[in-house]
Structure 1
Amino acid sequence: MKILVGYPPTEDSKGTPLLSQNRQFQYFNNPTFLFPVALATAATMLKDKNYKIFWKDAIAEGVGSDEFYRFLESEKLDLFLFETKTPVIKKHWQFISDLKKRFPSLLIAICGDHVSAFPRETMDACPVDYLINGGYYDFAFLELCEALRKNEPIPKGVWYRKSGKIVENGRYSFKGKLDDAPIIDRVFTRNDLYQKEFNLIGRPLAYIMSGRDCWWGKCTFCVWDHTLYPKGTYRARSPENVLEEVKYLVDECGVKEIFDDAGTITVGLWLRRFCKLMIESGYNKKVMYSCNMRFGAVNAEEYKLMKKAGFRLLKYGLESASQKTIDKLDKGTDVLGIEESCHLAKQAGLTVHLTMMVGYPWETKSDALKTYRLAKRLMVKGYADVLQSTVVIPYPGTPLYAEALDKKWLLFDDPTAYERFDMREPVFKTQDMTPDEVMALCNKIYHIFLNPEYIVRHLAKIRSIEDVRYTLKGVKAVFGHLRDFSWSSGPTQQKAI
C-alpha cells in the first residue's frame, strides 16, 4: 500500500496560504511555514509500520499543480491524507473532485478543524473517501490504514462511503497515551523546509507539541479547542518523553531551538519536572526552548527555573485590554495581571511575545485602542519584546461562530462564504469602526515595532552577529505583516445588532 501524507498545492493570488500547524489561517506575503506536528507524526507512524510512505508538503516546497500531478502519476499511489482549513475548504473540495477524475483509484482522506466541525458538509460537497472527525488524526489515520490493510471495519471517528452512501461514523476518541507515538523522523518529513520563523533565533529549529492542545481549552475563538481537542480530550506527554525528543533533535538533527506548540505548556508539577530534567541532563546548555504561556499561570520562581532550564521565549495570548472581552472569550485571565506577568518573565531573563486581536463585534474603537496602548506600553517599557496582531475570525465549530450566527454579527449574509474567513478583511460588524479602520488598527499595532524608544531599546541589546541577523529577519517580517493588513475599500460597514 503506497501512501502520501502532506499538503496539496493550494495556489492563490492573495499570497501563500499557511495551513500547517496554524490555529488561525492567513495568506502571507512573507510566508513562514510551521512544521505540521500531527501530520508528520502520522507519516512517521506509518513508516515505522513498514508502509510505503511518501511525504510532500507542496505548499512549503513551492510545488505547483502540474508538478504535483506528475508526482502522483509516477508513484501510482493508493491513499493520500491531507489537512484543510476553513478559508480553503472550497478549493480543496474542487481539488478532490479533480483528483478523483484524474486518478479514480486513488483513495483520499481529509482531516482538520473545519471538516471536524462540519463533517457531513464535506462528505456531501466532494467525493472524498475518508474523513477523520476530530483531533489525534495521526493515531486515527494509522488505525484506518491498519483496517484497510487487514480488511477490517473502518474505525469509529472515520467517516466513509459504502455502496455509494455516506456512513456517519461519529467522532474519533483517542484512548491511548501520547508517549506511544514515535519520535518524528525529521529527515523524512523535511524539517529543513520549516526554518523561516524569524522569532526563533536558533538554526536549525524544530516545532514539537508536549500536549494536545491546551489544558485551559475554553477560549471561545480557538478552533482547535472546540473541533480537534475539546474539553476533556487534552493529553500531555510525560516530561521524560519530551526530553527524549529534545535529545534526538539536538544530537541527531543539530537543532538549536525548539518551540513547544502545545496550546499552553503544562504547568505545575509537569513544568517543574521537565525543567529539572533539562537541567540535570545538561540539555539546558545545548538548546533554547520556547513555548506558549498563559498570564498568571506560573510564579516568579518558576519563571527563573524555566530560564535556568534553557527556556528563551514565552508567547502569551493577550487578545484584548478589555476585561469584558476577555470574559466573553472565556479566556480566564485578568487584564490587570498582564503587566506583572510580563515583568516577572522579563526579570527572569525571558523573551516575551504578545498576540492580540482586533475587530470584536462588541468592542468600540475606544476599547480597541486600549489594546493598542497596552501593547505599546509593554513594548516601550521593555516588558515585551515581540508582538503579533490579527483580525478576530469566528471559525466554524467555535462558540464564537455560533454566537455570530445567532446575533447576526457577520458582515455578509452567507455564513458559508468561507473564503472570506482568510483574515484579508474583517468579517464582523463592529460598534463604531469601519472594516478599513479595523485593518488600519491591526497595521497600527505592527507600527509599534517602528517606535523610536522601542528601536533604541532593541538595538541596545544587540551583542552578536546572530542578533543582527535576527533583527534583520524581524524587520522583513514586520513589513510583510504591514502588507498583509493593508486591505481597504471593502464591504460597506454595518453596525452590530
Structure 2
Amino acid sequence: MREVHNKKNTNLRILFTTPPYNEQFRDRDVMHLFPSLGLLYLISNTKKFFPGIETTYFEGNCFLKEYVETILKMSPDIIAISVSFFNSQEAIRAVNDIKKNMKKTFIIVGGPYATSSPEIILKKSNADVCVIGEGEKTFIELLKFVRGEIKKQDNIKGIAFRKRNKIIITPKRDLETNLDKYPFPYWDAVNIKDYPGYFYHKKTPEMIFISSRGCPFNCNFCSNPVWKLSKPWKRFRSPKNIKEEIRTLVKKYGVKEIFDYSDEFNIDLKWAYSVCRGIEQLKFEDISFKCMLHASNVTEELASSLKKMGTWFVHIGVESGNQTTLDSIGKNLTIKGVVNACKILKRHKIKVGGFFILYHIWEKDNKLFYETTKDVENTLNFAKYLLKKGLLDYISWGFLIPTPGSRVYETCKKFHLLTNKNLEEYHNDDMVFSLPDVREAEMKKVKFRGMMLEGLNAVKKGNVNLKQLKYIFQKVLTMMKYAIESSLAK
C-alpha cells in the first residue's frame, strides 16, 4: 500500500488540474475559455466532507515541461486531472512524467475520456485510478480509501484500477438526481478575471454555470459518456438553487456576463420559465446572459422570459440544412422548426448563433450513408439564407468529429473511414475521415467558404471577444491553408 494511504490527518494536499497544451500544436495553443466546472464542483464537495484538506486548482495553460515542473514544486499527495478525448494524449504524457518523479502521489483521472476509455488510460499511463461517470460521490470515497477509511477499492462504485496486473472495473454508480445536494463550484479556487471568456460577449468578467446536467436526445455525433451512464439523461437543478448561484457570482465575484453551459435550457418549459422569473427577480439590470436552446421547443413566452432576465444571445444546433440528414442522425428537429425558432427569438431582439456540421455520416440497415458535397452546399446555402434574412447572427462551421463514445465513431470504424490513426491527437479544424467518391479538395473548399462566411459575418455583427485574437488569427491561418490546399488539388 502506498505511503499516502492511511494519511488521516487533515493536511492532505490535493491538486485539481487540467492537462497541458499539446506539444504538437505549439503554434495553436489557446487559453482555456473558462475553468473546469467539473473540478470546481469536486473541490467544493471535497471541502464539504473534509474541511481541513488543502486544495489547489492549476489550469494547464502551458506546455508539458513547464506543467510537470510546476506540479513537482507543488508536491501534492493526490492529483485529480480532468481529461477529455481532445487532450487525452497530453494528459497521459503528463501523468507518466509526474509519476517518474513522484511515485507515491496518488493520481486520479476523471472526465469524459476516463469514462469512455478507462482501459486505454490505465494501459498507457501510470495513473492509479479512473473515475467513470460523475465524480462528486466517487471522489469522496477515493479520498476515504487513501485515508484508510475504506479498505478495498473494489468496494467503490464507478472506478477502474489495476489489481494483480489486471484492470478492474467496478459496477457503475447511478447518477445523482437531486443536483441541489452539491455545493456551488468553488469559485475561490480561481481568478475569474484571468479567463478570456466566450468568443462573443458584451461584458466582462464573464463566467459559466450549469442549470442542468445531460441531454435527453441521442444525436449520433454526440459523445457524452459521463451523463449517459444511467437514466434520467437530463437532470435539473431547482430554480431557487440556480437563483442563489447567480446571486453569488454577481455579488461576491463581480461577474457581469453569465453563460449557461447546459445543453438545451428549454427542454422543460415550465422549469425554464421558473428559472427566468427567479433570475429576473434579482433585478440585476446590468448583467447579461447567454444560453443554449433546442430549436424544436422555442415559444414566444420562452423568448420573452429570456429577454426579461437579460439574455442577449442564444446558441442553437442547426447541424444541417437537409431534412433527411436531421432525421437520420437523430436530431429531433425540422428545417421549418429552425426557421420558426429563429423568427421568435429575433422578434424579442435576442441574437442567435447556429452550429453547423459538415459531412454528416450515419448507417441504416448495416449500410453506410453520408452527406455529399452537394448536401453540404445545401447546408451552406441554408446558413446564408438565415443570415440574409436576419434570423441568425453568427454561425459555427466545422467538420464532423467522430468522437469515441458516439455512434458515428463506431460507424466510421466499421466502414474504415478514419484517416488519422491517432485520432486522440486531433486538433480543431483537422480532417480525420474520408468518404467514398468525395474528393478531399472539395471538402476543404466548402469548409473554407463556410469559414469565410463565419468570419466576415462575425466582424459585421460585432460583440467579438478581443481577448480571443490569437484564436481568431489561428482560424485565419486555417482558412488560408484550406484555400491553398483545395486550389492546388484542382
Q: TM-score of the superposition, structure 1-length normalised?
A: 0.85
Q: Report how far residue 56 of structure 1 moved.
A: 0.2
Q: Mind listing any 5+ residue stretches in structure 1 that lack a counterpart? A: 17-27, 460-466, 492-497
The AA in structure 2 aligned to 1:344 is: I
Measure the CA separation in 1 of the matches of 2:392 and 2:171. Answer: 44
How far apart, CA to CA, are the structure 1 residues paired with 2:296 and 2:84? 31
Distance 2:472 2:296 in 1: 28
Retained in 1: the 8 A contact 2:358–2:400? yes
Match of 2:142 in 1: 144
Q: CA deviation at 1:360?
A: 2.5
The one-letter code matched in structure 2 to 1:435 is E
Counterpart check, 1:353 vs 2:353: yes
User: Quick check: 1:270 aligned with 2:278?
Assistant: no
**Matches of 1:185 and 1:158, distance apart in 2:** 24
Distance 1:286 1:110 in 2: 39
Encode CA deviations 1:267-323: one digit per residue, 9 max, x unaligned.
31110111111222323x242111111112121222112111221211011111111
Aligned AA (1:291): C
Match of 2:451 among 435, 446, 455: 446
Report the counterpart of residue 483 of structure 1 in structure 2. 477
Q: Where do 4+ consecutive residues of structure 1 move more than 6 Å?
A: 473-476
By how many angstroms is 1:451 displaced? 5.5
C-alpha deviation, 1:258, in angstroms: 0.6
- Per the alignment, in what secondary structure is the counterpart of residue 353 of structure 2? strand
1:7 to 18, 28, 32: 18
Paired amino acid for 1:137: G
Does the aligned pair in 2 maintain the 1:131–1:159 contact within 8 Å? yes
Once the two structures are TM-superposed, the CA of residue 218 in structure 1 deviates from its matched residue by 0.8
Contact 1:199 1:474 in 2 (8 A): no
Q: Counterpart in 1 of 2:192?
A: 191
* 1:472-495, Cα deviation, whole Å (9 max, x unpaired): 66887555423345555989xxxx
Aligned residue pairs total 459
Per-residue CA shift, 1:152-172, capped at 9, x if unaligned? 143200112335543221333
| Aligned twin of 1:428 | 433
Alpha-carbon distance in structure 2 between the residues aligned to 1:396 and 1:291: 26
- Structure 2 contact 397–454 (Cα < 8 Å) conserved: no
Is the 1:359–1:428 contact (alpha carbons within 8 Å) kept by the matching residues of 2?
Answer: no
Does 2:396 align with 1:388?
Answer: yes
Supply the distance in 2 between the matched residues of 1:71 and 1:286 (Cα, whole angstroms): 39
CA distance in structure 2 between the partners assigned to 1:86 and 1:185 by the alignment: 25
| Alpha-carbon displacement from aligned partner over 1:329-386 (angstroms, at most 9, x marks no partner) | 1110001221221111011111101111113341111100111111112122211111
- Correspondence for 2:413 among 405, 408, 413: 405
In structure 2, the residue matched to 1:19 is none
Question: Which residue of the other structure, out of 56, 59, 62, is the alignment partner of 1:57?
Answer: 59
Instruction: State the shift of 1:58 in Å.
Output: 2.0
- For 1:56-75, what aligned pairs fall within 5 Å after superposition? 56-59=58-61, 62=62, 64-75=63-74
**Is residue 329 of structure 2 the alignment partner of residue 324 of structure 1?**
no
Q: Is the 8 A contact 2:18 2:36 kept in 1?
A: no
CA distance in 1, matches of 2:59, 2:378: 40
Where in structure 2 are the equivalents of 1:158-307 lying within 5 Å?
A: 158-214=159-215, 216-224=216-224, 226-230=225-229, 232-265=232-265, 266-283=267-284, 285-307=285-307
Q: 1:386-445 CA deviation, whole Å, 9 max, x = no partner?
A: 111111111111111112222233235x4xx22354344322222543334323322311
**The 10-residue stretch of structure 1 (234-243 or 432-441) with the greater mean CA deviation from structure 2:** 432-441
Amino acid at match of 2:409: Y
Residue 363 of structure 1: aligned partner: 371
Cα 1:486–1:217 change in 2 (3 A) is farther
Contact kept in structure 2, 1:207 and 1:259, CA below 8 Å: yes
User: Closer, same or farther in 2 for the Cα pair 1:318/1:192, shift >3 Å?
Assistant: same
Please report the TM-score for the alignment, with normalisation by the length of structure 2: 0.86
Q: Kindly tell me: are residues 11 and 244 of structure 1, through their superposed partners in 2, closer, same or farther at Cα, counting changes over 3 Å?
A: same
AA aligned opposite 2:59: D
Partner Cα distance (1:473, 1:387) in 2? 19
8 Å Cα contact 1:116-1:228 kept in structure 2:
no
Question: Cα distance, 1:202 vs. partner?
Answer: 1.6
Where do residues 107-122 of structure 1 align in structure 2 (5 Å cutoff)? Answer: 107-122=106-121
- 2: CA distance, partners of 1:308 / 1:114: 38
Question: Partner of 1:179: helix, strand, or coil?
Answer: helix
Please name the residue that 2:5 is paired with: none
CA–CA distance in 2 between the matches of 1:269 and 1:130? 41
Distance 1:118 1:72 in 2: 25
- What corresponds to 1:39 in structure 2? 39
Q: Structure 1 residues 440 and 313 mapped into 2: Cα distance closer, same or farther (>3 Å)?
A: same
Contact 1:317–1:354 under 8 Å retained in 2: yes
Hey, what does 2:3 align to over in structure 1?
none
Note the aligned Cα RMSD (angstroms): 2.7
CA–CA distance in structure 1, aligned partners of residues 163 and 465 of structure 2: 56
Segments of structure 2 that go 5 or more residues without pairing to the other structure are: 1-11, 362-369
Aligned to 1:379: 387
Most deviating of 323-332 and 239-248? 323-332
Q: CA deviation at 1:66?
A: 4.0
For residue 438 of structure 2, what is the amino acid of its counterpart? M
For residue 243 of structure 1, what is the amino acid of its counterpart? K
> In 1, Cα distance between the equivalents of 2:261 and 2:148?
35
Q: 1:449 to 1:424 in 2, by over 3 A?
A: closer
Which secondary structure state, in structure 2, belongs to the residue aligned with residue 296 of structure 1? helix
Contact 1:425–1:487 at 8 Å: present in 2 too? no
Q: Is the 8 A contact 1:319 1:356 kept in 2?
A: yes
Contact 1:439 1:485 in 2 (8 A): no
> Does 423-432 or 357-366 show the bigger shift?
423-432
1:23-76, CA deviations, whole angstroms, 9 ceiling, x for partnerless residues? xxxxx56555233111111122223432111110122xx3x4444334333332
Q: Report the identity percentage.
A: 22
